[in-house]
Amino acid sequence: MNIAIYGLGYVGLTAAGCLTHSGHRVLGVDVSANKVEAINAGKTPISEPGLDKLIADAVSSGQLSAVQSIQGGLKDFDMAIVCVGTPSAPDGSHNMGYIAEVSRQIAHALGAAGPRATPLTVVYRSTVRPGTIEELVLPIFAAVLEQPGAYVELVYNPEFLRESIAIKDFFAPPKIVIGTADGQPSANMEKLNGGLNAPTFYTGFREAEFTKFVDNTFHALKVSYANEIGRLCLDLGIQASKVHEIFVSDTKLNISPYYLRPGGAFGGSCLPKDVRALQYIAADIGVAVPVIDNVIRSNDAHKHYLFSYASEGLAKGAKVLMVGLAFKADTDDLRESPNLDLARKLLQAGFKLSIWDDTLEPAKLVGQNLGYGFTHLPSMDALLVSKDEAEAGSYDRVIDTNGRAGSLALTSSSVISLDHLP
């Protein structure tokens, strides 16, 4: 199929690489000139293991190109996939401005191109409030097109990609959820997912839209619960790793080990944003959700606890090496990274801080990732050191946030791991 992908962030660019690998032809659309230039040169503007080769191969073969806007309509396309951001507004709700603007652009492009033999399948993958397709997206198309059903087939298809293993998750998803107007299968979605082996659920728009909130809030809850148990274990002299081993061995009742290991606080672009959005929705409709309301508070408490735990016994002016600044290893995503908060606290406490992150290159950061990183840690450039500099330094303490300290030849014997609590 010929596919246009709107929004070339982590989700959109991963989809572009994987879909071209599956034989589809993709045109990426993003307002960032730097992203478009990098992609057309066969380079990926984000760090995701394996994605650089997929993008280079796709551009080399002519299956992938990128533009800042589509000129001449969408007449030759079978599908458009919307992967633009839905960042948190100050009240916790999702900012739907990008969704509305891209929907308007697609509607006008379809109208300008004239009648189609078959409708364009427009697939939304951005996390949105239940009711968004029916109450925001469909009215935009209806305002531009007299008979929207003749031009467009609307689909909501949430993604379940974990950064750093997104390609693996794309080709082996835990499930496939597809929301359509009548809850019935879509021919183009069947083509898109033809090579994937996963449970597939066709449902209405609202059920599909709500799926991501349910998943991400539960993942955030699991992380927070595990970390509360980890704090109790440390203060009670209990081996947290043994408690974790026992707990996750029960796959019949305790479900699975994912997100349930005591360690770092949760962060990134999905879990905090979607927990806040679900809080907003609950408040908006007058439903009390006390557990969900406290997930972010528990995570914030764990961030401060980890700072106290990692810095205990250090004198003011002590030299500290922090390993890992992004919210997890193998990614350069700084959005809501708890490690930014940790770095700021260490600086405020008067420690001499250096940071080594083998994936992070500030010059390559773009968009919200760039803005968030430097807003929360303006001195990032000065703090980051190379591997050689990290190994040559002498530190009073090494704080390992992502499990990568073992790849450094360090002389310091004081290494505190926050990735796995002991």
Q: Which domains does the chain have, with CATH numbers?
A: 2-203 (3.40.50.720), 206-306 (1.10.1040.10), 313-422 (3.40.50.720)
pLDDT tens digits, 76-107: 999 999 999 998 888 999 999 999 999 999 99
Nearest alpha-carbon partner for 324 in 312, 306, 350, 298: 306
CB 59 within 8 A of CB 39: yes
> SS3 breakdown of the chain: % helix, strand, coil, rounded to 5?
45, 15, 40
198 pLDDT higher than 80:
yes
Burial (CB < 10 A; 0-12, 13-18, 19+), residue 135, is exposed
What is the reported pLDDT for 156? 98
Angle at 420 between CA 416 and CA 422, to 5 degrees: 70
pLDDT tens digits, 1-56: 999 999 999 999 999 999 999 999 999 999 999 999 999 999 999 999 999 999 99
Catalytic residue among 18, 83, 233, 270: 270
Task: Say whether 233 is catalytic.
Answer: no
253 pLDDT higher than 90:
no
pTM: 0.84
What is the reported pLDDT for 318? 96
> Which residues, at least 6 apart from 4, have a Cβ–Cβ distance to it below 8 Å?
26, 27, 28, 29, 70, 74, 77, 79, 80, 81
pLDDT tens digits, 101-123: 999 999 999 988 888 999 999 99
pLDDT tens digits, 305-332: 999 999 999 999 999 999 999 998 999 9
